[in-house]
Chains A and B, each alone.
Chain A
Amino acid sequence: MNKVLDVNGLKVTFKSFDGDVQAVRGLDFYLNEKETLAIVGESGSGKSVTSQSIMRLISSPPGIVEGSIMFEEKDLNEVSEKEMESIRGKEISMIFQDPMTSLNPTMRIGRQITEGLIKHQNMTKKEAFNRALQLLKLVGIPDSEERIHQYAHQFSGGMRQRVVIAIALACNPKILVADEPTTALDVTIQAQILELMKDLQQKTGTSIILITHDLGVVAKAASRVAVMYSGKIVETGTVDEIFYEPKHPYTWGLLGSMPKLDGSKELLNAIPGTPPDLANPPKGCPFVTRCPYAMNICEERNPEYTTISDTHKSACWLQERLAPDVEPPQDIFIRREDHAR
């Protein structure tokens, strides 16, 4: 498979009066053609900062972005702002969490879609308008001839997100970065939007980076997963590897914290404590204070990645040869067998 995006050693630091906050602390990941990579993590884990640095939306100062983001033999961290403008919205586009704030309230929907088409594809107004109509139909907005002249406030939350998707897909981008695209929506609408994204991906062949905190959404939409914790990827693998053979205690914790629809009424396996302060990150493994399996070395040194399979990597000292054998808590797997019945 071809890599469309290859990120190496990405570090993002924000200067503040309180010292430097290291939001992202050395990320390596790639995105294959036509796949959906989910980046999961809690708030403050650096997932949104990662997506913004791909789009080069981190303003400097206060942000400092280091490392390389290779896209079509260009390093997005190095290219000129002018060149970036021709990539942003054309080759790589973005869907934001809140469709009410990402649409312009004073501009008709039609103009917001045609804006990119006219700028990037040199279409005439008329051509762009027709293409916008097509796009609205594609994302499933009924009465699109009428709706194209309306404003954002005349749309419901789900419909607004469809418009945002239409704008993002207008120029047939190679990569779509979706930052929590369904978090602000109700579950039935969320299901519709996720279906739509899947459908459009099959039609257009776009690669998607899906940022989310919801493991259900990951299971439904992603082909590969990167689990982030305090600015690092602690485990990455295919969805099946992450859900059925997770290796990192944080992944176990995330899976265990989710209430199961069919499950028992016992206490949930909550992860105790809170994530570390990134202005003063720990010397060793960032998860050490919350990890039930923590060993002495975990406090001293940050673990390197252990390769479990071609696609599966985990950064945990438990994978080390000399470490004790630890079985993941069994109840995180219950749901699979229960559903199979």
Chain B
Amino acid sequence: MPDRLKKLIELKNTKKHFSIDHRTVLKAVDGVTFDIYRGETFGLVGESGCGKTTVGRTLIRLYEATDGQIYFNGEDITSFKTAKKQKEFNRKIQMIFQDPYASLNPRMTVMDIISEGIDNHNLIRTKEERNERVHELLRLVGLNKSHANRYPHEFSGGQRQRIGIARALAVNPEFIIADEPISALDVSIQAQVINLLKKLQNELDLTYLFISHDLSVVKYISDRIGVMYLGGMVELASSEDVYAKPLHPYTQALLSAIPLADPELERTKEQVPIKGDIPSPINPPSGCRFRTRCPHAMDVCSKVVPTWREYEEGHWVACHLYNK
């Protein structure tokens, strides 16, 4: 069970803006605040362009945050004093990518792919130990020793994703960012990879940030879920609460838009209407960003940005409907 007291990651009003040209700025992430506790799986959902991937990449410092703070184990990751500290941080956070076809170097053997991190961080001295470690990792993710000397093209999508997972685990990380790790896989293979991720979390005491557009998968794997829309977080709660009592109209719409594998229910279920497309993040709507598609939009929504507040214990929402 996640330790509610220990925060592993803290994001405080983190922003990431990209300049398009001299005048225009794309605010991919515009001030998100949340914590990730040790041992939990934090799910981040939202549609394309909502900034969920940018949050993940900013966390691992693939992008430099424009503003705000990010703490890992209480240390500010945006300004490490020494290279040694930076390297230690790099080891503790690892990433699993979406496309298992693009994220493995086709010219490296599985052995080299997995041990690259081990070598970089000088975790193992002798070649025998290194081989042994790679074999152990392969076993851990459900592959076997004989796979070590093959190249990525010899594997199926699900197997490649397992190699990507083994690579992430090679350096004994504490925290893993999984950015749409199963979107490119078939349903039956998706279930295999989800099960593997759950098993590894139990065995190795890992903390996950699970980024996906698929709310049913996120609901299944996560302890808590953050819902993002157009660069901001609109709701955050335990995964049961997000499903059972969604507060924000966007979360409600997102939930009702997921087609369930139950024809009878699909025939009878009421749809929360959601019109139109996501506006451009270069020129987002004033006030609440969701107001252009919101069925409950009021006057105040276009004028005032809703505050991020804790409506019930552990259930955060940014919406004017819940301003008491």
Q: A residues engaging B (CB < 8 A)?
A: 42-43, 156-159, 186-192, 194-195, 213-222, 239-240, 243-244, 253-263, 265, 267-272, 274, 335-336, 339
Contact = CB atoms under 8 A, between A and B. Distances in A.
A26 to B, nearest CB: 23
Output the residue of A159, A214, A215, A220 with the most chain B CB within 10 A.
A220
A218 B187 CA distance: 14
Interface in B215-267: 215-217, 219-221, 243, 253-266
B192 interface: yes
Contacts of A335: 260-262, 265
B128 interface: no
26 contacts: A156-B278, A186-B48, A187-B215, A187-B258, A188-B254, A192-B275, A194-B259, A213-B186, A214-B259, A216-B260, A219-B263, A220-B263, A222-B263, A243-B263, A257-B190, A259-B216, A259-B221, A260-B220, A261-B243, A265-B220, A270-B191, A274-B158, A274-B189, A335-B260, A335-B261, A336-B265
Given A240-B263, A268-B220, 20 more contacts: A187-B214, A188-B47, A191-B259, A192-B275, A213-B187, A219-B261, A219-B262, A220-B266, A222-B263, A256-B191, A259-B220, A261-B258, A267-B195, A269-B191, A270-B188, A270-B191, A271-B192, A272-B192, A274-B189, A335-B265
A257 B191 contact: yes
A8 B58 CA distance: 55
Contacts of A261: 215-216, 219, 243, 255, 258, 260
B92 interface: no
A258 B263 contact: no
Contacts of A268: 191, 194-195, 220
Given A254-B187, A263-B220, A156 B195 contact: no
Nearest to A156: B277
A157 B188 CA distance: 27
Interface residues of B, number: 44
B233 to A, nearest CB: 17
Contacts of A339: 260, 262, 265
A299 B220 CA distance: 35
Given A186-B213, A259-B194, A263-B220, A271 B263 contact: no
Nearest to B45: A187
Contacts of B186: 42-43, 213
A211 B216 CA distance: 21
Contacts of B264: 240, 244, 336
B259 to A, nearest CB: 3
B263 A257 contact: no
A103 B278 CA distance: 21
Given A213-B186, A254-B188, A272-B192, A188 B274 contact: yes
